[in-house]
Structure 1
Amino acid sequence: MSDLARYKLVVWVNHGAGYNSESALVRCAARSRILAGYLRAGGKLWLSGRMTVAATRGDGNGLGADLTYPITDLGPGDFAWDYLKLRSTRINNGKGVNAWDLLHSVWPFPGVPAVYDSMVVDVTKLPLLQHLYDGISHSDAVFDPIDAESDPEFEGDIDTLYAYGAAGPEVQGHGSVYHGKLCALRWHSTEVNPIHGRIQWFGFPMYYMNTEQARKTFRESLDWLRQNDGPVPVSHLSATAVRNDDAVVIRWDVTEGWENAAYSVYREASSLERQQVSSVFSGQSHYQFVDREVPAGPLSYWIAEDERTGGRSWYGPVTVLARPGELKPVLAPVEPNPVVASARLAYSLPRAGHVSLSVHDLSGRQVALLVNEDQESGRHEITWDPVASGRGRLAAGFYVIRLQAGSMQHVQKALVLP
């Protein structure tokens, strides 16, 4: 889990059903601050699945999660309170005890603008006993209102997304106290400097929903989560990186009280995964590391901070431009990806010249030529429509987008959905 920072977005599905309190979620959210550190560094999280709130709370003995429901004592210091924004005095989970409380559907929460469309459980995906009653067990529901935004010191904006559609009222002819309760929300910052990255919480597993309905919600959720709110500020660590001939000098300072944490430097290049490049530093307030094995091209550096409690936080990136002779054309990641209707392809050219932008299947066969002309240096952007490929709509699957400028090229992958 210490490698979370290489990802801009984590989609976390919790599989706990009340029988095993030991999970990666409780280890990262309650017994250490790994997940909190990831979010404070700008990471984004979509948490869904079974017993999601209980799985973020330690049992007090360091043995696992406290799976007791209802949860009535959430407060500052709890992951669900601080990061999921579940600032409620009562969150419950029927754990499948009563068939009429099983989750049969979710629908836009009443009284607020609808964000996502309704979804209904596909009973063919359910285990036998739940199949008989048309619903999912172990889903969380918020019984008391979320009152976070009434707090004048609360930062950000909460969207209440889904209401709990209980199987009792919907298909069994029986009432349920869960019916209509909040079971999904999302949060994003409204400030220039967010306190942490975007959050979306679904108190139920998406897998059991109708496939087409779930697919649409999944795409729209990713589009929202990929939006940027701005850089997350660092309160006690500042870092710089300067290219010096064939090396890069990284310097960072920490404020008083953080000298006993352990720090290490990671490097990220456009074609390589993030990797540790320094030994561990500790015991000072001013640090310097010289990276002498520098690959070509632009680079990003991150500082990993390991606390004695076991938590890890990431600070960065600190970027270093390529040397003038190393400048290459850059093709940005396809947005959105996966592609349904159309996508934005943005690229930058270090110098003027002839440019081609083409689409290829995984066998290397060119299926579309999008740009084939001389262009000026700088940033360029086009819209790619898989339908307008000249050969009818492209079949669903992975494709390679290739930018060629002179003798240099850059590629990105895209997944086209039906």
Structure 2
Amino acid sequence: MPENSLAEDSYVIVGNNDNSPATAKMRTALVDQIHPIYTVSPVGRDLEKDAKISMDTGALDPETISIGYWDGNVWRELHSTLSLDGRQMEAIGTHLGHYTLIPRGSGSPLAISEEDILPTEYSLYQNYPNPFNPETMIHYDIPKGGHVSLVIYDILGRELIRLVNQYQPAGRYDVLWDGNNAIGSSAVSGVYFFRISSNGFSQTRKMVLSR
């Protein structure tokens, strides 16, 4: 959790108790309980800065799950991506409260007011799915408007295609790579890198195309 995420000093406690009366309604609302419900206390507190939520996938198929947040009435499905090591699902949280893994598509979408919250830091997330065939989605956050470039490189560091090369306002973005190079030819199976650059920020991640 970023420093000064809460408006005042407070202890943050993480735990799970699926058998408590407090989680009974949450369990009932789940289409299929596939993961323990974790509580981040004090419940209901808004965060001054976005925090990354990470949950181990275990034996679950990451292509079929998302992180869910309990808003008091329904499970809200967060935009979730697989971590670089392939062991965790990651999402951005804006509240302390109850989180779990849910079947993808089973949760209600976030309210528009929450989706519109601007990011407070630059982030490049792991593409999803990964490995992929034939296409994959890349998600990134831009807290300040500016020129953004998102480039795919092969294992030798040669530029394959420039997916983004333009000014973008602050916000959260999803870009699809269809597995083709700049001239429309299919890229071969192998390891590729994608790098984002904006306002002096740069970050690179690795992905695998498996045809």
- TM-score (norm: length of structure 2): 0.49
Structure with max Cα Rg:
1
Higher relative contact order (CA 8 A, sep 6+): 2
More helix by share: 1
Q: Which structure shows the bigger proportion of residues in strand conformation?
A: 2
